[in-house]
Structure 1
Amino acid sequence: MRILCLHGAGTNSRIFEAQTAAIRYELGDNHTYDFVDGGVPWDMHPGVKNIALEDEPVYAFIDPADLNTGVTAYRNLMDYLEEEGPYDGVIAFSQAATMILTYLAHVARQNALGHDTPTPFKFAIFISIVHCPVDYEAFQRGQIIEICPKDAKGVVGIPTVHIWGALDDDPESAARAAELRIGLGIFLSAAEITIMSTSLVTITDELMHYEQGSWLITAYLLTFTGFLTLWAKCTDVFGLKASLLSSLLIFVAFSGGCGAVRTMNQLIICRAFQGIGGSGVFSLSLFSIIHITPPGKFDAASAAGSAVVAIGMVLGAILGGAICSAGAWRWIFLYNVPAGAVAWVLIFSAMPYNLAHKENIDRSAGIWDYLTRKTTLFLTSTDPVGCFLLLGFSVLFVTALEEANVTYAWSSALVIGFLAVSGALGITFVVWEWYIGSRRKGLVEPMFPWTMVQDRVWMGVLLCPSGFFVSGPATTILYIQIPQRLQITNDSSAISAGLRLLAFAAGSPIGSFVCSLLAGKFRLPFVYTITIGAILQTAGSFLLSSVPTTLHVWGGQYGYMVLTGIGVGMSMTSFYIAVPVVVRKEDQPIAVGLSLQTRMLGASLGIAIVNSILINYVKAHLGPLEAAANPNMLLGLPPDNVQQIREVYGAGYNLQMKAVGAFSLAQFVAVALMWRKDQARLIK
């Protein structure tokens, strides 16, 4: 019998021949085995280094980031079978197994349609196949449409054997298990964004610094924003697993620090470092789910991720209110320590070391040389100059907005200086990214690849000033400002405000589900789902700006919250699904990081803008005594003054909702940028 033998990615025919020696010995000497090399040079798989020769070249059959290599591989396969065949059977490992199974399904489909296409093998043996076969015809057109093995049972008309090693996991169950573990990390970092919204009253009262209260939210958001792309770059150097575990460790450590502080300044500093860890946990967890999810299931995974984020943000507000109502505000941070430790252990045990990472540095050279090379690679691939410029712009711009008309006047030299320097840093950032991305290729890897700027659809998802940049402020502001309005204007308790926020939070997963259904099952283009979400979000935001400023909570605002939540859920899920679809696979880590970075940068700026709007409105409509009063501590003031302060703050919050509506309207710019003749959509 003649048997074709095809190796996996990151190895070669000689290594595969050695790996199958025991099997071939048991089968006897009356068979002929042809071992064939792939055509794409590749990095060596860590599992074969102990049997590989020094500097031995290794290959893959297909580069997943370049579908043209796949088209070439199938053409070469057919040419080889025609010239060297016929073969009785095939033994294929990993990537090659997926390729052969895809081709066999194609042949079976052709014969079912009445074409006389010969089946190239009488049997097939597949070893450690970890990816589903894909639709061959769609693949030739540059699309990846996976075939569910359960739905295609019995299609291939020859005997097949599927072999996994004792340490191999079932791919689907392993992916589901990993997603559950990673979801805990997403929940913790998302909850930390809003947990302060119902806790500010208690914390600022105890630490005696109400005027600095907004910094407890802004400090977290700023560092969260500034390090998102940096963490994404870390995956290229240190690997996804190591980067995720490191960020989770930082997040847990400084959560404990937040719970142990004694002054407001200490808490703000710990919140900033907590944001550094939280940014890695959030972005790398989302990228992990994208990486382990088959392309045909991006809609379901994105909807699930959006739902976890929404649940985390609303439960963060409720949890913060409940803990503060019990008189133990430090536990809004300390609970992250045991929960984060559990998440760390689960991720460590579930995630493979080489997920989304190809080790290209030889560890045998010595630990010092290994670390030196890693550090050099990190500095040349993370664009530290770009990171510094973007972080400096964000910090100075948001600081100016936060401090203007609070500690310093708008006309003060400090505020004007911060705005001027931040503007210069922003312009320098754009020029620097253009310079290293288009003029000095190879000098350093830009944190914002300039090729992405030329992709109009991607830019519609990201910026200009749309997509994530405008949906981020609307989402985050609503989660934070609605509970504060309920506490100050309606005199609700912290826990009551968090529970009332459920009306808004309930709409978000509904919107995510509707978006997943429209984009996934009905293949509705992204521009349409984004448009529907933007309309609902805009309408709901402007309706919330008309809520009465009475002490009693008007019942109609719950309906407005649900409507706005559905729009937010649809918009955000649409953007999340679109990211891995509209960019190349090798750009997915940086695309996820940039998407989240623009979202949170928009959120940081948005929070600062609406806070400035509220403060300016309050100072313009209250006397000096009333404007200086802490709105959370009104018991000692005359009833008429208390009512006036609550009403003015209510009107100020309504004005904030109009700003949210303006942000929501800007999403239509994203629609215009994404619009094209052949609309981008999810192909299943």
Structure 2
Amino acid sequence: MGAAPYSFSLEDSVHEKEGSVKLEEGQSPPSSDSDIADESTPTEQPNAHRYVTGWRLFCLLFGVSLAIFLANLEVTIVSTSLISITNDLNGFSRTGWVVVAYLITYTGFIIVWAKLSDILGRKVSINAALLIFVVTSALCGSAQSMTALIVFRSLQGIGAAGCFSVSMVIFFEMIPKEKYAKYGSILSADVALATALGPIFGGLIVDGTTWRWVFLLNVPGGLLATAILVFLIPSGFPHHWKPKSEQSKARIFSMECVERVDFLGSLLLIGANLLLVTALLEASTTYSWSSGVTIALIVLSAVLWVLFAGWEWFATKDTVKQEPVFPFRFFFNRAWMGMLINSVLLGVPFTVIVVDLPQRFQAINGVSALNAGVRLLPYALFAPLGSLLSNIIFAKKRLPLTLLLAGATFQFLGLILLATLPEKPDLPNSLYGFLVIAGLGVGLTFGTLVVITPESVEPRDLATATGAMIQSRQMGSAIGMTIGSSILNSYLKSNLRHVLSASQLEALLQTTAVVKTFPAELQLPVKQTFAEGYSLQMKVVAGIAAAEFLAVAMMVKLKHRK
């Protein structure tokens, strides 16, 4: 299996990795871990220019941060514009698909892009991803139906996955290891800020112009990021510091490259995700939970998950040409698996808060899209602050378990408190305190997971592990959004069928604007039912956040009995 993975003790100390480091061709073995991270040591002089420095470093940091920001902004910027989008395109019951279609392909292709960047090179991969993202964003902005928008959103997610995962890999390769904590705070804050500011940007756009600019703004932003990365990423990166004769030159689109990509594993992963979320979403609208279609989708999803695990076991063998999207050795790294599960669970509140709460504010409290986003400002500020705080603490004290436990605690408390919001039109000032607590918890957890990822796997798995960490959080986001939409749709249908006529209920599931056309005596119970549905969402999400404590427990190093 190679080098032993990191594990975390009860004292929260991060142990040095044991075993050998996989060497590049022609590279002498380092005498210690510091030999491959410290540019200033005499033994490192031949490789002194392997890292990017000076103005070029700061420009590249801006470029990759912009690519990451845009990809993550698209997850939540639609939150405050969903009401306008679905009312315009007549499809409120399909609201979840606008978010989930993006997240499914985003999730499925994150590791694929990371692996492709190993084969084709970082520079080619990141710019190809940005090109796909820009073109599909323009298509989303021109969509004329809900079906077209959902299809374009799924294609947009493919490009976004590359923007995120390849940028993360580039980030870890352009700076020395001892600076991960310092610059990692920028990266984790960038992700948290993009996710949290999405609703505000969406509200500004919807109140000031058409919702289509929610997608079209990615065109100039994506082109700027492309220009920076095309001109400033060194040729041959990350092996640009070697003589050209020693640089690995993979032939783009050659059969050798194609054979190394784990297409089957990627398709199995995407199929398993797609069938699962389709079953959860459609069971609350088109079909019932006991219908044959719903049961068949869930069973097929389970089969694909089993096949995915089996194929990855086979693809991890040295005799197989494919490079697995999820090496089977990951399953034997208990601390790493605990981190991945923690990331999946984190994705649920991370996204549900910024997507469902603005809808609640608009549907129940009657606020504008912009005001709904502004009410999330405490969350928007304290999520990145929590990420920054976790990196500062980790750099000085290296207490990963303590930070993760603190993050889970704050998330749970914040979500439970958000579930107690009253069903009245006026929102209490305590809402902002609840959002501060929840945002701080999400930020602490996410920032800690990002900074300890490189220390938790073998060097050869850094690109794949980085993609897996991102992928697991987005998978949690997709599942969380699916569960949230399913809970709300099911609650509305079961509790309003005796209050509204069949035609009124059907109209409500298409557009919330129809509530204003109901008689006054119906509007109050409809809004109350909406409030109860959203509160139920938060309670379920709080339960999911509580499961993070079990995931953290997996990272504790067990003591062997003598």
Same fold (TM over 0.5): yes
**From 509, 513, 522, the counterpart of 1:641:** 522
Give the CA deviation at 1:503.
1.6
Query: 2:28 corresponds to which residue?
Result: 61
Query: 2:212 corresponds to which residue?
Result: 330
Give the CA deviation at 1:357.
5.5
Output the CA distance in 2 between the equivalents of 1:600 and 1:185: 16
Cα offsets for 1:334-359 (capped at 9, x unmatched): 11111111111011112113223689
- The 5 Å alignment of 1:189-338 reads 189-338=71-220
Cα offsets for 1:176-214 (capped at 9, x unmatched): 221112111111111111111011111111112222222
Query: 1:417 corresponds to which residue?
Result: 296
Give the CA deviation at 1:72.
12
Output the CA distance in 1 between the equivalents of 2:270 and 2:194: 26
Query: 2:550 corresponds to which residue?
Result: 669
Query: Once the two structures are aligned, what percentage of the paired residues are identical?
Result: 32
RMSD (Å), alpha carbons: 2.7
Query: 2:6 corresponds to which residue?
Result: none
Q: Is the 8 A contact 2:67 2:167 kept in 1?
A: yes
Q: Is the 8 A contact 2:50 2:238 kept in 1?
A: no
Q: For residue 252 of structure 1, what is the amino acid of its counterpart?
A: V
Cα offsets for 1:155-183 (capped at 9, x unmatched): xxxxxxxxxxxxxxx72443222111211
Structure with higher RCO (Cα < 8 A, 6+ apart): 2
* Greater alpha carbon shift after TM alignment, 537-546 vs 512-521: 512-521
Give the CA deviation at 1:590.
0.2
Q: Is the 8 A contact 1:202 1:324 kept in 2?
A: yes
SS at match of 1:70: coil
Give the CA deviation at 1:621.
1.8
Q: Is 1:470 matched with 2:345?
A: yes
SS at match of 1:580: coil
Output the CA distance in 1 between the equivalents of 2:77 and 2:168: 20
Q: Is 1:489 matched with 2:364?
A: yes
Q: Is the 8 A contact 1:257 1:270 kept in 2?
A: yes
Output the CA distance in 2 between the equivalents of 1:668 and 1:182: 32
Output the CA distance in 2 between the equivalents of 1:445 and 1:266: 34
Give the CA deviation at 1:314.
2.6
Give the CA deviation at 1:401.
0.8
Give the CA deviation at 1:306.
1.7
Distance 1:97 1:489, change over 3 A: closer
**From 482, 485, 488, the counterpart of 1:614:** 488
Distance 1:531 1:193, change over 3 A: same
Q: For residue 651 of structure 1, what is the amino acid of its counterpart?
A: E
Q: Which consecutive residues of structure 1, in runs of 5 or more, have no partner in the other structure?
A: 1-39, 44-58, 63-68, 75-93, 103-125, 133-169, 679-684
**From 458, 479, 482, the counterpart of 2:354:** 479
Cα offsets for 1:61-91 (capped at 9, x unmatched): 24xxxxxx435999xxxxxxxxxxxxxxxxx
Q: For residue 333 of structure 1, what is the amino acid of its counterpart?
A: F
Q: Is the 8 A contact 2:120 2:251 kept in 1?
A: no
Output the CA distance in 1 between the equivalents of 2:235 and 2:314: 35
Structure with greater proportional helix content: 2
Give the CA deviation at 1:405.
2.7
Distance 1:579 1:425, change over 3 A: same
- The 5 Å alignment of 1:374-389 reads 374-389=253-268
Give the CA deviation at 1:677.
6.4
Cα offsets for 1:19-43 (capped at 9, x unmatched): xxxxxxxxxxxxxxxxxxxxx9854
Cα offsets for 1:2-23 (capped at 9, x unmatched): xxxxxxxxxxxxxxxxxxxxxx
Bigger Cα Rg:
1
Q: Is the 8 A contact 2:284 2:487 kept in 1?
A: no
Query: 1:533 corresponds to which residue?
Result: 407
**From 316, 326, 339, the counterpart of 2:221:** 339
Query: 1:519 corresponds to which residue?
Result: 394
How high is the TM-score relative to the length of structure 1? 0.73
Query: 2:430 corresponds to which residue?
Result: 556
**From 324, 345, 356, the counterpart of 2:238:** 356
Cα offsets for 1:191-239 (capped at 9, x unmatched): 1111110111111111122222221111111111110110011011111
Query: 2:16 corresponds to which residue?
Result: none
Q: Is 1:589 matched with 2:463?
A: yes
Output the CA distance in 1 between the equivalents of 2:283 and 2:204: 33
* Greater alpha carbon shift after TM alignment, 269-278 vs 442-451: 442-451
Cα offsets for 1:97-151 (capped at 9, x unmatched): 855267xxxxxxxxxxxxxxxxxxxxxxx6883269xxxxxxxxxxxxxxxxxxx
Give the CA deviation at 1:96.
12
SS at match of 1:197: coil
Distance 1:263 1:631, change over 3 A: closer
Output the CA distance in 2 between the equivalents of 1:490 and 1:472: 26
Give the number of equivalent residue pairs: 527
Q: Is the 8 A contact 1:447 1:590 kept in 2?
A: yes
Query: 1:431 corresponds to which residue?
Result: 310
Query: 1:631 corresponds to which residue?
Result: 512
Output the CA distance in 2 between the equivalents of 1:559 and 1:392: 40
